[in-house]
Every structure is written in C-alpha cells, then in structure tokens.
Structure 1
C-alpha cells in the first residue's frame, strides 16, 4: 500500500520515493492514482506510477470488494447502479465511500485501470494500438485514444515512442507481459505453494515457473508465470484472442495473492485427494493437444461434466453428489 503525491507546481503525480524532490508545501497526497488523475494530475515519466497496481491503503471492506469486482469487469457492460446493487448498498453511498477512500468514482477508477494496463502493454509489447485498446477493455479505438490523452496527455502512438529500451519483452510463441503483484507478496513462496498442489495434466510447476491450462471467453489457452522481480512477475499467455486480456491478468494477480484460480475447482480440491483428483481430470477433463512440451494435457472438468459423471470407479472422498454440490 502507499500514497501518491501530486505536485501542484508541475501537475504531475508520483509514487514515492521518486527521483524528483518537490518542496513539501507544493505536494498534495492522494490515496490512489485514479484520485490523482481525477484531480487533474498526470503520471510522472520518471517513477512511472502506472506500472504498479496498488489499492488505497485504508480502503474499507466494501470499497475493496468493489475494486475487486471492477477488476473482474463489473463496469465493462454494467454501470455504477448495478455495481452498488451487487454490494447491497445505494449508488449514492458507494460513490460517497469511493470519494472518501479512493478520491475518484468507481467509473473513474475503472477508466484509470484500463488506461494503466494499456500503457504497460504499450511499453512491454509490440501489439498494435488497436489490439491494445481491446485487450485493455476499451469499447472502441476512439474511446481508447480519448482516455489516454485525458490521463497521460499524449496519444497511444506518442506514448509508445517514449518507452524505454529495457521495457520491451520478447516471447517465442506467446505474448509476454510484466505483471505487478500486491505489496508483501512473496513470489517464490507462492510459486512453491502452487507447485506442491499442482494437478497433473492441468498444471505444471518448477521453483521459478508455474503453468496451467485456462479458458478465456470460452476458448482454451495456457498461461506461464515466471519469477521476475520482488514486485512483479513475467506472464506469458498463449490465447487465441486478446480481447479482455486485462481481466485474465487480474485473475493472475489474485492467484499470486493466494486466491484460487477458480472457485469450483477449489471446491473439488477440498473434497477429493490428490491421486483421485488426477484420475478425475484424466477421465472427465477436456483434452488439449499440442501442449506436451508444457507438461499439460487437459482443461479442468466443468461442473456440467462432473454432474453427469459416473464416479463409482474412483476412490473419491464422498459420493458423486458431493462432487457437484
């Protein structure tokens, strides 16, 4: 966690510690990057605060829950009224809480997250501007350009020209991204935990790399997570399309923070033993060809597949009904 500093004499906000040293009387503190942007400040080119991903330091449980829903795409097709309803509060109350704790509305936070994700893609990848717009969750190229100019005071093409040579990531056979993780995350320890609980055929892991099969908008794919720095991982994604990539990255961040990849999969893990789980995947998982080099062969079984499965031959803990309830 941490605060952001807006410098009133330059109109720039920074993430301390920044090489720039403004006078204390010229500094305004914000709890979030979105709050600084809503107040009219733009991101510093030196410390590049958009490359991190921090929640407000003192956010309440309600606001944290709302931020998680926004990260999952709650405002992509819905609005603040629907978001408030999911949280069982009024829109007015939700906006008031965001104003107090974030310094921006939920819509402004969602816009800031999309813009920051897009800026990282402009830095790290060679994806086209159009591809980046849709990967970051923007509805159109025009909207993308308008938001980037509003937040960064430059067009996407101009921003790409400013990227540093060391930023560009190159991957053979996949799209490589640098993904920031939550403060306090021990990446090596988390990768070790994932290796210990890996499901054969669905996941494979080493002390420095975790791989798993995924489904993205109905289509299968693979992700690879590599230890990179103390505050970021190197993610390589192998997917047939990148629309909505921002939400896949959010799931990776939640996984690294200790949350399960999928609630249903996590429930099944808690019911059956590891040996039985491997058999369950082999019998009812969806086969995926061409992934032998990754040590991966299946998608995890769907609820529908297990609902009709004959598990009598499996040495499961509990009856078939327990698997799907």
Structure 2
C-alpha cells in the first residue's frame, strides 16, 4: 500500500528521477521556483530536490497556489488507487466526489450520504489530502472544463455551466488560476476544438496504469451484454448510461496506452459523472503492479500472472442494475440471464435513440421493476421472491447500493434477503460495490481452475489458502476464471 506516499520524500524523489508513470496520481510534485505542479512522470528535466515539495492531490496543489504543468498535464493523471481499494470515510467521500455529489448536493449532501457531520468530513479530507471537499470538487470541475474547452466547440458559457461552475466568472477565474491560461487561450493551444451541439459526441482518452490486459475485462462485458442496453460493435463495448441530468451512450475501445472513449450526452453537465462511472466500470484506477506482485507470491498463481499481467475486475456503471442482473443469473446460463434481462429491458426500460448501433433502452430503474407483476417473470417461484424483494428494497431505499456503500455492512444486508447466498452477495461486492478483496470460493469456475492448478478446491480450504492473496482476492478470481475457455475471457474479434 502506498497510502500517504507524498510524505516519503526519498521514495517520491526516486519516482520523479526515474519518471515512473506507475506513480502518476499517487502524489504530485510542486516546484517551488516555478509555481507549477507535475505528475511524477513529467518528461521535463526534474528540478533540484530542494526546489521540490510533494502533495497528495491536485486540489492540494491548486489550493497552495501551484498551477498545472502544461507539458505533463497532471490533472489528467489516473485517479489514486486508494479511493477504490479502501472502505473508510475518506475513500468513500472521494468516490462520491468523483460521482459529482458535491456539485449536485453540496457538502451537506456529501456528509449526509456518508452519515457524518460536514465538519468531520472536512477535517478528515484535509488531514489526508490537504484539501476539503469544496476544493476537491473544484479541481474536478477544472478538469471537466479543460476537457470541454479542448475537445469541443461549445460556447464558453455552456462549458462553465456543464462543468458545474456557478457563474462564468468563477469558471474564468478557476481556469486562469489552475492552468495559467484563459479558457480561450486553452482552446487555441489545443487546436480550437470542433464545433458541436450541446448534445454532440465527445472523443476522450481515458488513461490507466500499465499493464492492462483487456481480454477478460472487455470479454466479460461483451459476453454478458444485455441486448438493447449493451453491445460489442466495431471493436468497442457500447452501452447506455442513466445519469443524474439525462442519459448517454458510450463506446469504449481498448488501445495500447489508453481507453478510447466516445461519449454522447443529452446534458453536458453529466460529463464528469459519465467519465467517473466508465473509469470505475473498467477499473482504470487500479495499481496492477501492486496487485500482481502480491499474487505472484503464491507459486501456483505466479505463472498465470506472468502469462497475462494487468488483469482488471470488470465492474459496472450502475450498482442496482448489476444486483438485479446477478439475481437474474442465479443458476442459469449466461445466455439465459441475458434473455431474462432483455425481456425486462424491452418491457420496462426507458427508450433511447442510437443512430450508431443497436442500443434501444436504458436499464429499468428499481422503481419500475418494483411494479412488475411477479407472475409475468419466467423464473422459479423462489427466484421471483428474491427478485421482487431486492427491487422492492432498492426502490423504497431500505437497501442502498452505491459507490459510498460500506462493503461489509452491505454484504450482510444482502445475505439477509431471501435467496441471497454467499456467491450472489460476493459477486455484487466484487463487481458492483468494488471490493477488491471479494472472493468466490464456491464458484464452479474458480473451484475447477483451483483444482487444475493444484490449489485446494473445496471452499473452506481454498479460502484458507487465499488469505495470502489479500487484499486482492477479487483479482485472483479474474486470473482463475481466465484459465477457462468461456467467452468472458476473450476480447471479441
């Protein structure tokens, strides 16, 4: 773990001298003589050590008066892996801020979601990140504004509104302060942008830490895609997105050094949230080196890791949707689960227009599914009860699944529902809630792979062996699954 790495001056200096991109997003280098801040891999010759200080976040750099380097663009670094591998208050707060909660509901709304006072949240974020929730949200708005300024031809007033600024003046002042350029200068420097309507399509590059193996990541999403909501087309995974202000369609294409992202939104205010959810679905802020190094300590897992390093956990853009789909997939084939889900989508999803492909609907909300006649569901009576109980609890708010969920508490709540066993609860914890240590010792594919490798294949013995893989057991599951010939493990042609 590299928590608080910015306080280890010697490690930071070594990372900067070697221009090690693996540490981008872990900490930032602020240069006292120039007043700029950089990512560790900045290609510029490093300054003298006495002229460097290290800070934990872009927001802390900006709050201290440093401007973003125009060469390495530190504000576009992958996010810190800390926020997706921890379950404490700060990590949950950071996931919510990335999901736009502060911009929509303010700091009181953030605190309410976390179950703490605004003062407690502020104090803990300041202690660990050197910036409070407003400064962290402001840094995120600045990055969103930069994307819109540089990649679109939207009028600047529309950019300010879409990025979440309260006024054009606040937008102008923030861009000048963070980037040392006016919005117009930023656009000119980037080549002017392409004139698009407010509902136009944006082309973005989503960074990640290398290595990234796309096979099981995109293979899983493509093989389990629900018709009408998801599809694999022309080398890209495409899906519809239900967002706070409207909806969108995204196409995600694996590239050697980034994920190509083509995003169409009905409301540009959803840009930050859409990017955050896509990054989360593809697990792009993971630290694959730390994960793989830990798993390699098991001599029976090491060959799998060495053969195809950098596996990610395929996750979701909508936690409630995934939970519903997990129930639909209980004890049936992948094809049958897709068929069940597609029927619900056609009958209860919101229609969308997709001129580029075959996407037709948003996945139904829990509220719409709670109104479904149970007798219309083509599934055994016990699973109908599981389904109706789940969507009812999600709809009335007695069960909450989100980026701020406490992993252990939510798992216990799921296990208390009828028809929820350890496999269903843990697959939701792994792929919806994002718990990097969720484990599936009863999964048939995991047990089969374990037996073939010489690992224990009974759930109790395998769980005991897997203690050494912690806190990355969800990634070990991906390596074990990948030994199978199931389509989920292969990038579609």
Which residue is equivalent to 1:285?
349
Name structure 2 gaps, 5 residues minimum.
Answer: 1-24, 284-313, 330-336, 393-493
1:106 is displaced (CA, Å) by 1.3
Distance 1:314 1:78, change over 3 A: closer
Instruction: Quote the Cα distance in structure 2 between the aligned partners of 1:266 and 1:9.
Output: 50
Match of 2:149 among 91, 113, 122: 122
Distance 1:100 1:229, change over 3 A: farther
Distance 1:132 1:185, change over 3 A: farther
Structure 2 SS opposite 1:214: strand
Q: What per-residue deviation string (whole Å, max 9, x for no partner) do you get for residues 266-318 of structure 1?
A: 12101113122222223333344x53741222222232332222343442251
Instruction: Quote the Cα distance in structure 2 between the aligned partners of 1:227 and 1:175.
Output: 18
1:9 is displaced (CA, Å) by 0.8
Distance 1:188 1:322, change over 3 A: same
Instruction: Quote the Cα distance in structure 2 between the aligned partners of 1:140 and 1:306.
Output: 39
Number of aligned positions between the proteins? 321
Q: Is 1:46 the counterpart of 2:111 in the alignment?
A: no
Instruction: Quote the Cα distance in structure 2 between the aligned partners of 1:225 and 1:16.
Output: 27
Instruction: Quote the Cα distance in structure 2 between the aligned partners of 1:51 and 1:132.
Output: 18
Is this contact kept in 2: 1:6–1:41, CA < 8 A?
A: yes
Match of 2:267 among 238, 241, 244: 241
Q: Is 1:307 the counterpart of 2:360 in the alignment?
A: no
Instruction: Quote the Cα distance in structure 1 between the aligned partners of 2:232 and 2:351.
Output: 19
Structure 2 SS opposite 1:251: helix
Which residue is equivalent to 1:17?
41
Match of 2:327 among 266, 271, 278: 271
Q: What per-residue deviation string (whole Å, max 9, x for no partner) do you get for residues 107-131 of structure 1?
A: 1111011101211222222222222
Name structure 1 gaps, 5 residues minimum.
Answer: none
Distance 1:55 1:272, change over 3 A: same
Distance 1:89 1:241, change over 3 A: closer
Deviating more after overlay: 143-152 vs 276-285? 276-285
Which residue is equivalent to 2:384?
319
Which residue is equivalent to 1:201?
228
Match of 1:295 among 343, 358, 361: 358
Match of 1:67 among 94, 111, 121: 94
Q: How does 1:43-192 map to 2 (within 5 A)?
A: 43-55=68-80, 61-163=88-190, 165=191, 174-181=200-207, 183=209, 186=212, 188-189=214-215, 190-192=217-219
The TM-score with structure 1 as length reference comes to 0.87
Q: What per-residue deviation string (whole Å, max 9, x for no partner) do you get for residues 59-115 of structure 1?
A: 963211111111222211434344334323343332232223211111111101110
Instruction: Quote the Cα distance in structure 2 between the aligned partners of 1:36 and 1:212.
Output: 36
Instruction: Quote the Cα distance in structure 1 between the aligned partners of 2:182 and 2:55.
Output: 25
Distance 1:248 1:187, change over 3 A: farther
Is this contact kept in 2: 1:191–1:208, CA < 8 A?
A: no
Instruction: Quote the Cα distance in structure 2 between the aligned partners of 1:198 and 1:291.
Output: 16
Instruction: Quote the Cα distance in structure 2 between the aligned partners of 1:151 and 1:95.
Output: 22
The TM-score with structure 2 as length reference comes to 0.59
Q: Where is the helix percentage greater, Structure 1 or Structure 2?
A: 2
Larger-Rg structure: 2
Distance 1:87 1:18, change over 3 A: same
Structure 2 SS opposite 1:78: helix
1:187 is displaced (CA, Å) by 6.4
Q: Is 1:252 the counterpart of 2:315 in the alignment?
A: no
Structure 2 SS opposite 1:132: helix
Deviating more after overlay: 75-84 vs 103-112? 75-84
